[in-house]
Structure 1
Amino acid sequence: MKLGIIGCGNRVTGMAKLVLELAKDIELTAITDINPEKAKTTLSTRGLWNDNIRTYLDADQMLDQEELDGVMIGTRCSLHSTMGVKVLKRNLPMFIEKPVSTNMEDLLMLKKAYEESKSKVVVSFPLRVTPLAKLAKEIIDTGKLGTIEHVQAYNNVPYGGVYFHNWYRDENETGGLFLQKATHDFDYINNILNIDPVMVCAMRSKQIFKGSKPAGVYCKDCPEKDTCPEGPYSMKYVKFDNPNGDMCCFATDTGNEDSSSAIIRYSTGMHVNYTQNFFARKAAGTRGARFLGYNGTLEFDWYKDQLKVFMHNTPRVETYDVNSKTMSHGGGDSVLAFNFIDVMRKEAESVASLDAGLLSCLMCIKATKSAENNTFERIEF
């Protein structure tokens, strides 16, 4: 079977490597990228490049000329929908990076194309299929906790500097940090609860990564580079951390909030609290949730690699240790890769459908709008 890639970013080429390692009957035959030489270098670093792979500058040309059995999309975020529509129109199996859209107009365009297509789509939502999330759903679905009536979810990102030092700081490219991070969390919560979100309100703050440094300035050109707490010297020799980019995070053009929160109401009347932070560092990093029912509470955290169940009516705590830290995205990436292989072979349905991708994206767009306008937003197209 023949595989094509549109946009050879680091994330999608990593997933392509998994697919090609797991399925010897699949070969990478064509790529589209605006920078073919850089794409070749990226693929070579992954051990994927060979001279039989055909390169294109135009996705339509590749899709029309190649007889592909599947396509993976790994462009920058703002092009995910545009490229996704092109693949959907050809009814080809598709793996698409998140977020599936960065604005409402693109989201509606993608939704329409999906409704008119026969394509099966796997969205890059690894958290929902990690051993921890699957175990949480398995336990909750037994009913031992009672109906889940409240969720407290959190994501304290220890590598958050990447969203202020790197191209991710451009909200026109990313759509903001609800779409960059919360899209994963909203999705796994939706998947575990299996009820419909109906309304959201949200708030964002920018208290740390802001300032008056000139727009477009790079750390190497700044006279304060050796004393700045976010400069390369301080990061490496004082904080013993790795720099996440070389653009000034205190410049006037540094986008993105550095913390944000959302409250989501679901169709049953229950609600979810979600909060994310981008200046937590080192051991302060956490990502997970508490699911509370009348009879018990379940909590898990990907950084701890552990799930606990606290029974409310008996003095019992159950602890489950899951050895997934060394696995890519907590073990979710390999599940997605196997699933996309089976989708290409027409042997399975998607475990992370575009329906889920559209819904999570809609929630993020509505949360962003709520934070901007101080409003409650209905989660509807």
Structure 2
Amino acid sequence: MLRIGIVGCGLQAATIAGYLGIYGDEYEVVAVADYDFENARARMAQKKVRIADSCRFFHDAGKFIESVPKLDGIIIGTFCTFHTEVACQLEVLGVPLYIEKPVAISFEQVRRLYAAFRHSRVPLEVSLPMRLCPLTQRARKMMADGLVGPVRQVVGFEDTQGDVYFATWFRDAEKTGGMFLQKAVHDIDYMFYLAGGRPVEVCGMRAKVYYRGDKPYDLTCEHCSDAGTCPEGPMRTFREKGLAESVPDAAERLSWIFRGDEKTSGKHYCVRSKDIAIEDIGECIVRMDTGTHVAHSQNFIANFHACRRGARFCGDNATLEIDFHRSHLTLYSHRSGSVEHYDVDPGKLSHYGGDRELVADFLETMKTGKRARTDLIEGDGIMSTLTCLGARESADTSKFIAVSL
């Protein structure tokens, strides 16, 4: 029986904890540190986490460390602000750790984390599922077989709707570090993994151009005088987008966080609030030590069929396009002109099937000590966070930033 601890029982931490039994392993969560016991219990119930009858709850990581029973592994799912601090605190317990991304939200934090784990015997697996998902692994094999040849340029993209980021806690830049660290960190990681090499320097741009306004930070649609005309308001959500049963239903769903059909105590706030500090468009370009250029663009304005996520890898022999929304690979030969299509089944679990591989690695680490493929140090799990910190710094200073610890 694997004995699991959780520090910061966010939705992703609960998701991973709930997956620990997918390979038939016996486990139970025996200790949880979270400032909100009620929400922690609700998330674990939602994700069908196996909780020990004797599970102990603590209000903070300090009390958890002082009193925690013997554990086989710990999942860290706090707000991003505390990822580094908590990981460094837990290192003294000597048990395998699993940490949500980004591992840090400042250069000071990422260097502190690196120093703490560089020579540590404690494995620290980073939640970077896109690198391990079936689609990326199939692309990796095609590249290893020489179908693409040396990769010279990578152009990645994610266009997605931004309501969840601009209406919930993600809007707080002090908790998230901005959207390079929240979203691009995944894409940068799998693009580095497929392209090969290590990043040398990065430049970036970011701005908030769509989710702008002068509304109070804590305003909800239910109490807004512009609810009938706002592009993101209940009238248009119901009448134009068809995403609710009525205008009152739309107003309620835009104002509160739901788990399925159950309304929770969490709120959705106005996406046009004046004090939202995160960006809704951003780009970065990375120079690799191989000479390869890796570029990534993201926006949180697109909606419906305009949404997409993927990248094109241009090599000497062919260009390989990866499409995560369709779970599809397209190989364009530069030699014969042929075009080949590959559909790859992602399975039923989250993050395009990558989470099942993360869980497999964490289970193996807890049983044998073998480090995960996305380990902070041995698996370069730190590199995409470091690069995204550089992209943010570049965007704010208009300078190229060295990707260096």
Query: Do Structure 1 and Structure 2 share a fold, with TM-score over 0.5?
Result: yes
Count of aligned residue pairs for this structure pair: 380
Partner of 2:220: 218
Equivalent-residue separation in structure 2 for 1:273 and 1:366 (angstroms): 14
Partner of 1:248: 270
The question of whether the paired residues in 2 share the 8 Å contact of 1:146 and 1:295 is answered with yes
Which stretch shifts more, 62-71 or 284-293?
62-71
Equivalent-residue separation in structure 2 for 1:325 and 1:233 (angstroms): 37
Identity over the aligned pairs, expressed in percent? 34
Equivalent-residue separation in structure 2 for 1:215 and 1:347 (angstroms): 46
Alpha-carbon shift at residue 274 of structure 1 (Å): 0.7
Q: Deviations over 1:234-256 (max 9, x none)?
A: 32442134748621111211221
Alpha-carbon shift at residue 288 of structure 1 (Å): 0.8
Alpha-carbon shift at residue 271 of structure 1 (Å): 0.5
Partner of 1:232: 234
The question of whether the paired residues in 2 share the 8 Å contact of 1:288 and 1:299 is answered with yes
Q: Deviations over 1:182-220 (max 9, x none)?
A: 110111111112201101111112211011223332222
The question of whether the paired residues in 2 share the 8 Å contact of 1:20 and 1:27 is answered with no
Partner of 2:36: 35
The question of whether the paired residues in 1 share the 8 Å contact of 2:147 and 2:317 is answered with yes
Structure 1: runs of 5 or more not aligned? none
Partner of 2:3: 2
Equivalent-residue separation in structure 2 for 1:292 and 1:34 (angstroms): 47
Equivalent-residue separation in structure 2 for 1:44 and 1:144 (angstroms): 46
What SS does the corresponding residue of 2:325 show, helix, strand or coil? coil
Matching residue within 362, 372, 375 for 2:396: 372
The question of whether the paired residues in 2 share the 8 Å contact of 1:213 and 1:252 is answered with yes
Partner of 2:263: none
Alpha-carbon shift at residue 61 of structure 1 (Å): 2.6
Equivalent-residue separation in structure 2 for 1:236 and 1:83 (angstroms): 43
User: Which amino acid letter does the alignment assign opposite residue 378 of structure 1?
Assistant: A
Give the RMSD, CA atoms, in angstroms. Answer: 1.7
What SS does the corresponding residue of 1:261 show, helix, strand or coil? strand
Alpha-carbon shift at residue 325 of structure 1 (Å): 6.7
Does 2:53 correspond to 1:51? yes
Structure 2: runs of 5 or more not aligned? 244-252, 258-266
Matching residue within 172, 175, 194 for 2:174: 172
Equivalent-residue separation in structure 1 for 2:119 and 2:330 (angstroms): 43
The question of whether the paired residues in 2 share the 8 Å contact of 1:216 and 1:253 is answered with no
Alpha-carbon shift at residue 23 of structure 1 (Å): 4.4
User: Which amino acid letter does the alignment assign opposite residue 12 of structure 2?
Assistant: R
Using a 3 Å threshold, how does the CA distance of structure 1 residues 62 and 228 change in structure 2: closer, same or farther? same
User: Which amino acid letter does the alignment assign opposite residue 366 of structure 1?
Assistant: G
The question of whether the paired residues in 2 share the 8 Å contact of 1:23 and 1:341 is answered with no
What SS does the corresponding residue of 1:20 show, helix, strand or coil? coil
The question of whether the paired residues in 1 share the 8 Å contact of 2:125 and 2:362 is answered with yes
Matches within 5 A, 1:1-381: 1-48=2-49, 49-65=51-67, 66-158=69-161, 160-241=162-243, 243=254, 246-324=268-346, 326-346=348-368, 348-355=370-377, 356-381=380-405
State the TM-score, normalizing by the size of structure 1.
0.95
State the TM-score, normalizing by the size of structure 2.
0.90
Equivalent-residue separation in structure 2 for 1:106 and 1:23 (angstroms): 37
Which stretch shifts more, 54-63 or 95-104?
54-63
Equivalent-residue separation in structure 2 for 1:376 and 1:339 (angstroms): 36
